[in-house]
Structure 1
């Protein structure tokens, strides 16, 4: 990515959050977003301050930012949901962030632009049924090892199955 060389990212939120961390043990996490210098690719960014003399509490002298290529990660999550071919035809599988923004979608619609409303009622997982027969199930992601996660959720929105007569 030669287009990245010389790009000033000092005004990026993730950069400033990383510089503001109190120690070298801390890091900043940015929302999944498109990165213009990386060919407008969707990326998940983690960043930490580089500190004077490599000391944990040394003065911050710069930032190390890691941009994960989001597309293959999202694809693996969405395609990893096991549905029968009949279920897949009437289902939309989503990964959403804490604000309900669609990060990945099995139909590719609304990625990074659409927001969905979820009535979680403070629960980590649940299911709801609408009057028109749609079932929506969700489960908040647990994080990984000691990392608490970002309150993302896996969501499946599924239309009601049709009877043999098409209803």
Structure 2
């Protein structure tokens, strides 16, 4: 930044104010150094003049008076430059205070935004756990897995389709028997999953292991082959005999959630200014740093790596200044806070480059 760039009405970030403060202090130091240099020469000249005036005796008295005045001027100049150096030091102290407050403000703001993002995700996904546990007790679902007839499977498919019409956040709802064979799905026109075996899928095995109807199964962000490899999260619940929450398990209901629709909506609506977006990355990651949602679109393709990552992710809410991808950054973080005893356990991370840093300038 140059002083000539300061124009009336322009808005400045705190970092730009600090940069301008440093620039003023630097220019003052340079100016004082020049004055000191000139003053030193003036002092030497006055001393030499005094010596020559003394040698000249009576004829040198006028010259001696001038030399004395020059010496007094030099002494006064020294006092002025000392005061100027003190003022410059105070300017730098103010700049450092602003810099400290700027870092604190930026860090707290990013970690606050990160917390809002992961809280929205927790709240939304909690609803998915409620959905699947409720629907697993639906009469047509219990009836289909009890009768095991083509007519019952067709009837339950229609019921699942009706649910899908009302709950557009899902790609599909699938129903499997205890062997993991899908016997019905709600979106038959788009996805042909019937007769697919899912016995080795995490959402199925975790539901089969549940003890009561109040529990649920889960498979985190992945590309589901049941819905043409779309990014999804699948929640599941055991279907129990007679719909009894403690009854014998007769199958599993899986609800395949449109993860990208939720996550990208939250990321895209994070209140980051237009001037910040090109140097800010917004992510949701798991405990290893694997990217589950990303403003740069690298979901499941990258794991965040930076110095002291474990320390950052180990706290509930915090921020740090460190290098990411070789560039100085502020990284805000928040751990999943949970909602109604449900928590994804994921982390929300916002990485913002320090654009005014010399190392980050092109």
Same fold (TM over 0.5): yes
Distance 1:13 1:79, change over 3 A: same
Determine the C-alpha separation between the residues in 1 that align with 2:200 and 2:259. 22
Aligned match of 2:348: 154
CA deviations 1:110-129 (Å, max 9, x no partner) are x1131224332631011111
Residue in structure 2 matching 1:49, options 238, 252, 260: 238
CA deviations 1:61-86 (Å, max 9, x no partner) are 10011110111111112112111112
Runs (4+) off by over 3 Å: none
Residue pairs, 1:60-79, within 5 angstroms: 60-79=249-268
1:94 aligns with 2:283: yes
Distance 1:11 1:106, change over 3 A: same
Residue pairs, 1:97-116, within 5 angstroms: 97-109=286-298, 111-116=299-304
Aligned match of 2:159: none
CA deviations 1:116-151 (Å, max 9, x no partner) are 24332631011111154211111112223x133121
Distance 1:121 1:153, change over 3 A: closer
User: Which ranges in structure 2 are unaligned for 5 or more consecutive residues?
Assistant: 1-189
Distance 1:121 1:34, change over 3 A: closer
More strand by share: 1
Aligned match of 1:15: 204
Determine the C-alpha separation between the residues in 2 that align with 1:59 and 1:134. 54
CA contact (8 A) 2:191 2:227 kept: no
Give 1 or 2 for the bigger CA radius of gyration: 2
Aligned match of 1:136: 331
Instruction: Give aligned pairs, total.
Output: 163
Q: Which region of structure 1 is more displaced relative to structure 2, 16-25 or 97-106? A: 97-106
CA contact (8 A) 2:288 2:303 kept: yes
- Residue 99 of structure 1 deviates from its aligned partner by 2.7
Distance 1:123 1:94, change over 3 A: same
Distance 1:2 1:121, change over 3 A: closer
Determine the C-alpha separation between the residues in 2 that align with 1:99 and 1:24. 31
CA deviations 1:77-110 (Å, max 9, x no partner) are 211211111211111110112332101111112x
CA contact (8 A) 1:31 1:44 kept: yes
Distance 1:104 1:121, change over 3 A: closer
Residue pairs, 1:121-132, within 5 angstroms: 122-130=314-322, 132=327
CA contact (8 A) 2:191 2:228 kept: no
Local SS of the residue matching 1:73 = helix
Local SS of the residue matching 1:64 = strand
Local SS of the residue matching 1:126 = strand
Local SS of the residue matching 1:87 = helix
Determine the C-alpha separation between the residues in 2 that align with 1:83 and 1:14. 35
Distance 1:124 1:59, change over 3 A: same
User: Which ranges in structure 1 are unaligned for 5 or more consecutive residues?
Assistant: none
Residue in structure 2 matching 1:28, options 217, 237, 248: 217
More helix by share: 2
CA contact (8 A) 1:102 1:114 kept: yes
Local SS of the residue matching 1:134 = strand
